[in-house]
Amino acid sequence: MNFVVPDLYPASAEIFVAVMALVIMMASTFARSVARPLAYYLSLATLVGAMFVTIWTMDGQVSFTFSNMFISDLMGDFLKLMIYFTVFVALLYGRGYLADRNIDRPEYYLLSLLMTLGMMVMVTANHMLSLYMGLEMMSLSLYAMVAFDRDSARSTEAAMKYFVLGALASGLLLYGMSMIYGATGSLELSGVAQSIYHQAANKTVLMFGLVFVMAGLAFKLGVVPFHMWVPDVYQGAPTAVTLMISTAPKLAAFAMTMRMLVYGLFELAEEWQSMLMFLAVASIVLGNLAAIAQSNIKRMLAYSGISHMGFVLLGLLAGVVDGDRHFALNAYSSAMFYAVAYVLMSLASFGMVILLSRAGFEAENIDDFKGLNKRSSWFAAMMMFIMLSMAGIPFFVGFFAKLSVLQAVVAAGYIWLAVVAVVMSVIGAYYYLRVVKVMYFDEPVDTAPLRAPAEVRVLMSANGLAIAALGIAPQALMSVCAYALLASL
């Protein structure tokens, strides 16, 4: 058997991040006196370097390497750039929070880079083995990060719940993949697609495999009925880790869903779309109704995130109608735009929670935002932008994200789905507007001025303004999402 040397050029960014993770591990071991700042700044430099490497290697073509296990395309490159940006911002937001609680250790930054590497592998996987390897690298890093505050019983409990349920979901996904392999004789996603297209697959075994794969994907997206871990983990984890969990992994989960369902199982679109329909409706309904009852803002945002992932699934289920695939590009690009918009909003929302927290105090309750306008009218305005955008009120990026998905759903003929989504969005606006009401109309419990590093204040302001700016001019981001998918599908 002749070994074919793979083309390493398309995987340059992944190799760079892996090497830098090893460098940070060694540097932190041998330079203990400056390990914390060294690991932090090297991690930020790694993310910036990976961004330049990805842009440098981006050619707009679809190419394969590592025996077709790795795919390089514009969708993957764009999502990788968004992942770098998201993790970079999350590290900047979270450093002060971690330092106040004496958990600002170099291992946190190493785990962040390993998580990033896992997400990069997921985004560029064309093979079920590489997809699963990336998923486990990301998941194991997140389990450790949730339990990073070893002195906190709540964090330890959250990590155990996340680990046990995550292991169960990974088992379901792996079992589904094995059944798809048994039905098609291939683990390569393009090979699976070819086998199904030529009707060479065992349809019964394939459908069983699809059900298990859908269960695994639903857990990673955090949608009903596999959502049980989301509110508990969001509340129990340190807020800096909650910020990490709620943002970049959603992009990786979206990419995994696209690779598995659209790239590998597109010929079964009508079957998996009906499953997505149940997941989407249940997530939007339960997420919005459960969020109303929450007084803890991290749990509220967790249930809110479940409903937002339901909207992403709405875009994915509107791609094929009665065998007609003309809706696919518009539907999938709207789902991708929604995922990116949600990540920007989630970054800002948990960034504000961190901004209000300080040593010995967690700003986890909605009442902690009382009278924020009197403490800082500027950051109260930023939080208002975030809440209005999440509620889907014009003219913020969240409104156009919802509008683009609803247009795709209506174009596909699912009028009743659009009606349900709009009604639940109106109901969901209550708990977002409640935060705005508390900030502007209630008396502050704490009158201390907000204290945060200058870079966090600047970044938080830029994040809030970006949500408003993308609401005024969303077309550029929409076009990038559509072009990336057009060049990749």
**pLDDT per residue rounded down to tens, the chain (489 residues):** 466 777 888 899 999 999 999 999 998 888 777 778 889 999 999 999 999 999 999 888 888 888 889 999 999 999 999 999 999 999 999 888 888 888 888 899 999 999 999 999 999 999 999 999 999 999 999 999 999 888 888 899 999 999 999 999 999 999 999 999 999 988 999 899 999 888 888 888 999 999 999 999 999 899 988 888 999 999 999 999 999 999 999 999 999 999 999 998 988 888 899 999 999 999 999 999 999 999 899 999 999 999 999 999 999 998 888 777 777 888 999 999 999 999 999 999 999 999 888 766 778 888 888 888 888 888 999 999 999 999 999 889 999 999 999 999 999 889 999 999 999 999 999 999 999 999 999 888 777 777 777 888 899 999 999 999 999 989 999 999 999 998 887
CA–CA distance, 92 with 141 (Å, rounded to integer): 19
CB neighbour list of residue 337: distance below 8 Å, 6 or more residues apart:
401, 404, 474, 477, 478, 481
In a domain, 95, yes or no: no
CA–CA distance, 375 with 364 (Å, rounded to integer): 17
Dihedral-angle region of residue 116 (phi above 0 means left; psi in -120 to 50 means alpha; beta otherwise) = alpha
What's the confidence (pLDDT) of residue 360?
65
- The 8-class DSSP code of residue 396 comes to S
Side chain identity at 43, as an amino acid letter? Answer: S
Tokens (6 digits) for 414: 């699912």
Tokens (6 digits) for 470: 């993308």
CA–CA distance, 10 with 395 (Å, rounded to integer): 39
* Residue 71 main-chain phi, psi, to 5 deg: -120, 135
Tokens (6 digits) for 295: 């007084």
Could you tell me the sign of the dihedral formed by the alpha carbons of 15, 75, 136, 102, in that order? positive
In a domain, 381, yes or no: yes
In a domain, 285, yes or no: yes
Could you tell me the sign of the dihedral formed by the alpha carbons of 258, 261, 265, 269, in that order? negative
Count structural domains, the chain.
Answer: 1
382 lies in which domain range? 265-489
Q: Which of 438, 352, 402 is nearest to 93 (CA)?
A: 352
CA–CA distance, 38 with 43 (Å, rounded to integer): 8
CB 17 within 8 A of CB 134: no
In a domain, 480, yes or no: yes
- Provide the β-strand partners of residue 70: 65, 125
Map residue 66 onto helix, strand or coil: coil
In a domain, 173, yes or no: no
Token pair 């349809």 in the structure block, residue: 203
CA–CA distance, 440 with 376 (Å, rounded to integer): 11
CA–CA distance, 178 with 192 (Å, rounded to integer): 12
DSSP code per residue over 428-486: HHHHHHHHHHHHHHSPPS--PPP---HHHHHHHHHHHHHHHHHHHS-HHHHHHHHHHHH
Q: Which of 309, 314, 193 is nearest to 262 (CA)?
A: 193
* Other CB atoms within 10 A of residue 198 CB: 9
CA–CA distance, 244 with 76 (Å, rounded to integer): 20
In a domain, 280, yes or no: yes
What's the confidence (pLDDT) of residue 314?
93
With 0-12 / 13-18 / 19 or more C-beta atoms within 10 angstroms meaning exposed / middle / buried, residue 476 is exposed
Cα angle value 166/171/177 (rounded, 5°): 125
Which run of H or of E encompasses 204?
A: helix 203-221
Map residue 188 onto helix, strand or coil: strand
Q: Which of 226, 241, 178 is nearest to 206 (CA)?
A: 178
CB neighbour list of residue 289: distance below 8 Å, 6 or more residues apart:
424, 427
CA–CA distance, 416 with 406 (Å, rounded to integer): 11
CA–CA distance, 259 with 208 (Å, rounded to integer): 19
Could you tell me the sign of the dihedral formed by the alpha carbons of 78, 84, 87, 91, in that order? negative
